[in-house]
Amino acid sequence: MDVLSDAVAAMRSGRPHSGRRDYLAPWGTRFEPSDGAGFHVVLRGSAWLVPAEGDPVALGPGDVAFLAHGRGHALASGPDVEMDVVRLDPDGAWPELPSPERDAPPDTVMLCGAYLLDRSRAHPLLTELPEVVHLPARVGAHRSLRAAVELLGAELEEAQPGADTVVASLLDTLLLYILRAWWQGERHGTGQPTGWAAALADPAVAAALRAIHGDPAHPWTVEELGARGGLSRAAFARRFAALVGEPPLAYLTWWRMTTAGRLLRTDDLPLRQVAQRTGYASEFAFAKAFKREYGVAPGQYRRRAS
């Protein structure tokens, strides 16, 4: 996997959920805080998004809004209307919302969805996102994202055989397209990219990150990682720490342990194989490192996760 795909996979848990929502003004829905991340796409009409922090955001036709941090937010036909409170089901599914009572076509139609996340190992690539990622509709912009939205909307409008699998796959694809569009905007915007946008745009640091994520079991050294980007050991170490926020080998260890946690949650591999896949020569060394990072032994962590 690449770095962006890995960052999402490391936090994802459970199946994503989505639904098509019809609204007739005046309307308002407040979403309670949750462990998930949510998105909203305006198919027709307009809406106001009121985040937990920051100013309300006006959404128009084709706009996409992504909320990564699960702090709760509201959607409404206006900033000051009365709100119905919505709580996601424990598995992240959206509850049924009241339909418009008046015999009239809806003036706002939206696609809304949620992704369950394990925030105990939140990747910094996602944690540094703003409260609201707003991708306004622009002619010719984010064509892959628009195509995914259209396909998802069609699947949700009329159920077809295989819809469960198709919708889940489209939701995974949509999430990556949203994040890709945001990071590309950060890298190619008018200002200088910072944080992980800058790290992914830096050839030397990006090459090292791809190497770490491509083969976390390899016994990487700072010199070897720096050589991937054509830098000396010292120059690479300074640049990596400045952009990523920690030294190269500290990030390598963090990613190995994050990978190990995901393997223990999702696979039935023996601990010996989990150790090998994350760069540890023995099960004992792996168990010691894992307990230092998570506070529990690998077997106990696996039992809790199951």
Lowest mean pLDDT among 142-146, 161-165, 251-255, 286-290: 161-165
The CB density around residue 300, as the number of other CB atoms within 10 Å, is 13
- In order, the DSSP letters of 183-194 are HHHHHHSSSPP-
Predicted pLDDT at 304: 85
Lowest mean pLDDT among 91-95, 163-167, 266-270, 274-278: 91-95
Confidence of residue 46 (pLDDT cuts 50, 70, 90): very high
d(CA 211, CA 205): 10
Contact yes or no for 74/12 (Cβ under 8 A): no
pLDDT at position 77 over 60: yes
Lowest mean pLDDT among 51-60, 91-100, 196-205, 295-304: 91-100
3 state SS for 53-68: CCCCEEECCCCEEEEC
Residue 134 region by backbone torsions, left for phi larger than 0, else alpha for psi between -120 and 50, else beta:
beta
pLDDT digits (tens, 9 = 90+) for 199-221: 988 999 999 999 999 999 999 99
pLDDT at position 87 over 90: no
* pTM of the complete model: 0.84
pLDDT at position 79 over 70: yes
Confidence of residue 127 (pLDDT cuts 50, 70, 90): confident
CA proximity to 185, closest of 234, 138, 251, 247: 138
d(CA 178, CA 16): 15
What is the CB-side half-sphere exposure of residue 161 using CA atoms within 13 A?
0
User: Sheet holding 108-116: strands in order across?
Assistant: 17-23, 108-116, 36-44, 64-67, 133-135
Residues of the chain with pLDDT > 70, as a percent, come to: 91
* Cα torsion angle, 179, 122, 256, 9, sign: negative
pLDDT at position 34 over 90: no
d(CA 113, CA 92): 9
Average pLDDT, the chain: 87
